[in-house]
Amino acid sequence: MLDTVVSFTGHRMQSLPFGEHSPEMDGIKFRLYQESRALMEQGCTEFLCGMAQGIDLIAAEQVIRLKRSLFPAVQLIAVQPYPDFTRQWSFTWKRRYESVLLWCSQCKNISPSYDPGANHRRDLYLASHCGRLIAVFNGDYATGTGYVILHAKRLGAEVTIIPVPKPR
């Protein structure tokens, strides 16, 4: 039942006009926590994460905070484009990825190995396997985040957009 399934989408850190340790990012993290908690309180039990650097992993960390403290039955599901897609990531992002992965009840690889369409198919999976979508969005529909939002809306998902604020 898709009504209890939530997907996340959002931009990578390099696409945001501020750093992770900024007041703007603190606000985004707070909103991700609030929105996730509200959906858990409404009965959502599965949260799908695309596992990309940036908003994907940050959103998953908020779900983990809630799972550890208030909602132990919630399932976090990793939806990856292919195994070893983190091969060229920095040590810091790989550690965060591995920490999140430890809390995932499932890990789904969209493709068995790299191919040029794997990331796009991962985005399509996230949009088409949820009843609700939480998106951190800068307004540019020509991005993967924009694609996920449009596709999820076309399929009837309830979409919550957390706008990317302008830096102070």
Residue 3 is classified by DSSP as G
Closest CA to 71 of 23, 6, 13: 6
pTM for this predicted structure: 0.95
Distances 85 to 53, 100, 109 between C-alpha atoms, Å: 11, 15, 10
Instruction: Say what the pLDDT of residue 2 is.
Output: 86
Instruction: Say what the pLDDT of residue 85 is.
Output: 97
Instruction: Say what the pLDDT of residue 143 is.
Output: 92
Please give the Cα distance from 36 to 127 (Å, whole number).
Answer: 17
Q: Which residues in the chain land under pLDDT 70?
A: 1, 168
Can you list the alpha helix ranges (DSSP code H) found in the chain?
23-41, 55-69, 91-102, 118-128, 144-154
Could you read off the pLDDT of 3-44 as tens digits, one per residue?
A: 999 999 999 988 899 999 999 999 999 999 999 999 999 999
Here the tokens at position 65 are: 């905070």
Segment (H or E) for 115: none
Q: Which phi and psi (to 5°) does residue 165 adopt?
A: -75, 160
Instruction: Say what the pLDDT of residue 166 is.
Output: 82
Instruction: Say what the pLDDT of residue 142 is.
Output: 94
Specify whether the CB–CB gap between 161 and 35 falls below 8 A.
Answer: no
Please give the Cα distance from 160 to 38 (Å, whole number).
Answer: 12
